[in-house]
Structure 1
Amino acid sequence: MMRSLGVRWRLFVDAVRVEFAVARHRLQDQGLFRALLVFLLIMAAIFIVGFVVMHLFMDPDELLPLLEAARSAGPFIIIGFIILEVVFAPVPGTFITVAAGAVYGMWLGALYSYVGNVLGSCLAFFLARRFGRRLVERLVSKQLLERYDGFFRKHRELFLVFYALPVIPVDILSFSCGLSSMKWRKFLLIMMSGFVSNTLILTFLGERLAGLSLVLMVFYTLVFLAVFSLLAWAFRLLVARFRKKDI
């Protein structure tokens, strides 16, 4: 009897593995499996870090020593993380800016995030201008670059809006500007002007979240993630529609 159950269990496990492999193959064919996996990993990391941070915010006695210890290095850590995110990381730096607002307040958080975004975007522009598309395709997904590059180049009049909104992939935008014939001064003026509203919006949100209870913080964080994802998805559809018209 036990042997029979064991055989059935192994058959069931094998069947599940086969079904998962088939599903995975289909998702990979559609380019969704990797995106889904990355999304789940990011969400898990956000919730783990979020609960630690929220616990600290709930207890000022625990938060104060942490801030005191990181008082001198904290801003440089935030700036460094944002620079790395803009140039190398395939995830939006939105959450780093929100966290900066939660820890340092709207104005200081915006200042640190602004410096990081400006320096990171300048570095992305310089790398693209100096080393060309071959290097950029190593730093950014070739698919993503092709998807947005043409759209950005044909709608340069909207560059200020792109940098001002926190749902646009500004890292790809900066690389795209570097690959184009855009003058350095024009890029600098547009990028620096746009990031003012971008960082202020996100650090304002972070400052407001920091003052909420644990339940409300989780609720509004989920709402923010949903809205952010929806806007990013809508922008992606807009880009796809313009690409179809251009073909």
Structure 2
Amino acid sequence: MPRYINKAAINFCTLMGAGFCVLFVLYGLQHRLFTSQEALQSFMGGFGAFGAAVFVLFQAVQVIVPILPGGLGCLAGVLLFGPWMGFLYNYVGICLGSMAAFFLAKLYGRPILSLLFRRETIEKYELWTGTHFSKWFALAIFFPVAPDDFLCWLAGTTPMSWRTFNTIIWFGKPASIALYSLGLSAAFQWLSAIV
């Protein structure tokens, strides 16, 4: 590990971040943030001009500590900020979170996967980490069907370079985020109309 990185400080920040995420999910469930568009908009409105930055941070943390399904965050972005700005905030937050997950996996290695993910998931995708992992990873990131968050963590335990990872994430994510953001938004509007 590089000398300038204090592992104890990173451990502390990781623990505090996980604790904060759990508390936020409990708060969100209690105040219906995940089931009411009005409640979510009211909550985000409390941040004023910093609402977008708070949302981007939320999306980044969502990748690092996968508590809620990522699709919910994409839907929230579109409902809060509209289709275009919602897509942009989703994109930036998810890419930054993906970079953080990759960094933490590089730092801690394979044992961190066991702390965050089920053994079955690890064993299923571990087979991909051979010589063609970068190609499989790029395809999985481009199409919105694979567990992207987990794969970012897994990528950090491979010899993949930062340059390769960032190229795949920043150029591969827009299509899948657009599909999630706009597709879930259309589904939400359709459900709202019939209920």
TM-score of the superposition, structure 1-length normalised? Answer: 0.57
Aligned counterparts of 2:99 and 2:171: Cα–Cα separation in 1:
13
| Match of residue 128, structure 1, among 105, 108, 129 | 105
> In structure 1, what is the equivalent of residue 61 of structure 2?
84
Residues 13-162 of structure 1: pairs in structure 2 closer than 5 A: 51-53=35-37, 56=38, 68-151=45-128, 153=130, 154-162=132-140
Task: Report which of the two structures shows the higher radius of gyration computed on alpha carbons.
Answer: 1
Aligned counterparts of 1:165 and 1:121: Cα–Cα separation in 2:
16
Which 5+ residue runs of structure 2 have no aligned equivalent?
A: 1-28
Aligned counterparts of 2:42 and 2:124: Cα–Cα separation in 1:
46
Asked if 1 retains the 8 angstrom alpha-carbon contact of 2:113 and 2:154, the reply is no
For residues 13-65 of structure 1, the C-alpha deviation after alignment (integer angstroms, 9 at most, x for no partner) is xxxxxxxxxxxxxxxxxxxxxxxxxxxxxxxx6xx656522xx3xxxxx9986
Task: Kindly state the Cα deviation for residue 176 of structure 1 after the two structures are TM-superposed.
Answer: 1.3
Give the 3-state SS of the residue equivalent to 1:89 in structure 2: coil
Amino acid aligned to 2:101: A
| Match of residue 183, structure 1, among 156, 161, 164 | 161
TM-score of the superposition, structure 2-length normalised? Answer: 0.70
What percent of counterpart residues are identical?
A: 26
Amino acid aligned to 1:79: V
For residues 196-231 of structure 1, the C-alpha deviation after alignment (integer angstroms, 9 at most, x for no partner) is 112112222244356557243x6xxxxxxxxxxxxx
Task: Kindly state the Cα deviation for residue 96 of structure 1 after the two structures are TM-superposed.
Answer: 0.7
For residues 50-95 of structure 1, the C-alpha deviation after alignment (integer angstroms, 9 at most, x for no partner) is 6522xx3xxxxx9986665444232223222222221122543111
Residue 202 (1) aligns with residue 145 (2): no
State the number of aligned residues.
164
Asked if 1 retains the 8 angstrom alpha-carbon contact of 2:141 and 2:169, the reply is yes
> In structure 1, what is the equivalent of residue 14 of structure 2?
none
> Whose helix fraction is larger, Structure 1's or Structure 2's?
1
Give the 3-state SS of the residue equivalent to 1:73 in structure 2: helix
Aligned counterparts of 2:120 and 2:42: Cα–Cα separation in 1:
45
Pairwise CA RMSD of aligned residues? 2.8
